[in-house]
A and B are shown apart, each in its own frame.
Chain A
């Protein structure tokens, strides 16, 4: 069973970049969140993972509005990041080891079921660098970055996101390497807009309940109009979380959720899934 771990986590840039701006009475919540991310790191490590696939929602690091693939995987020998100012994100520039041979094998298999683009020159933005900052702080685990367009129309339909997750799982299961997957995105949030910091906690919790219970029918029932109205443009990133759930196939355990850190501009989330047999 080469897929050895599947989980989700938030990636908002404030998690690292604005950590120092957390109100004093919320510092314990922040630290509990960081502690949970550390335990996620340990869980990935103890799973025996040799490679980490990060299913993320990039923010114009590699692609722009005029040409953005619905799905893309980074197959390069190395990746760079963050593209953002290191002082702003509070993560130093890194060269991150890739897994070109394995990534190419995965792409070849997934192309049977998914229109998947690939890139040999991947630049990581906060959507990948913030998770790596916590999950592989020494950058000693090879990374296969993967993007689902969550930024702007045309957005890939959720049923195809599910198919993508299942195709990723099938491809992983044919490999000999132990592979971990994390899906990283926000639930409701309005990042980098005047509404930054707004979080629809009720909507988040309903989504997470559906995600943890693998309620495929309800997960795929969201329309983009509903998501935009209730969860903001940042809510489009549920695609990354749904992909991780579909890849895992098993029920999830929500390990952390808090809407009490609006300076991070997202409901902070950590969860893992059972890997179905």
Chain B
């Protein structure tokens, strides 16, 4: 979608036909088909991909950021991908906090 103008045009004309070519769960299908940025973020879509899908949907920058926050409130923490907070990361942050580290 982000790299292919032709796919974008086809998606604009007939979303269901484009999505039918992909093996998606019902939740994934719904998230893409309805442009639910928050759910896509929670499902694990990388922001470097998601922000361009949001731009394609004409979602303004601050609305895009808020949609992800709303998604976490509605659907819970990010489940997969690079943003899914691993136990190891949480442990590191806790240990660093106890050490008086500057934590981001």
Residues of A contacting B3 with CB < 8 Å? 60-61, 83, 123
Please determine whether B48 and A191 come into contact, CB atoms closer than 8 angstroms: yes
**Cβ distance A21 to chain B, nearest Cβ, rounded Å:** 8
Query: A200 with B104: in contact, given A60-B2, A152-B82, A229-B92 (CB under 8 Å)?
Result: yes
Given contacts A85-B55, A225-B88, A229-B92, contact A192 B102 (CB under 8 A): no
Q: Known contacts A193-B83, A226-B92, A233-B82; is A83 also within 8 Å of B103 by CB?
A: no
Is A209 at the interface (CB under 8 A from chain B)?
no
A230 B52 Cβ-Cβ under 8 A: no
Which among A21, A61, A200, A230 has the greatest number of chain B C-beta atoms within 10 A?
Answer: A230
A: interface residue count bin: 20 to 34
- On chain B, which size bracket covers the interface? 20 to 34
Query: A-B pairs with CB below 8 Å: how many?
Result: 72
Whether B47 contacts A83 by the Cβ 8 Å rule is no
- Write out, one digit per residue, whether chain B residues 72-91 have a CB within 8 A of any chain A CB (1) or not (0): 10000000011100001100
Give chain B residues whose Cβ lies under 8 Å from the Cβ of A232. Answer: 104
CB closest chain-A residue, reference B47: A192
Against B, the Cβ 8 Å flags (1 = close, 0 = not) of A152-182 are 1100000000000000000000000000000
Q: Does B43 interact with chain A (Cβ within 8 Å)?
A: no
CB of A274 within 8 A of chain B? no
> A18: which B residues are within 8 A, CB to CB?
61
Name A60's contact: one of B48, B61, B83, B88 (CB within 8 Å): B48
Closest to A17 in B: B61
* B1-39 interface code vs A (CB 8 A; 1 in, 0 out): 011000000000000000000000000000000000000
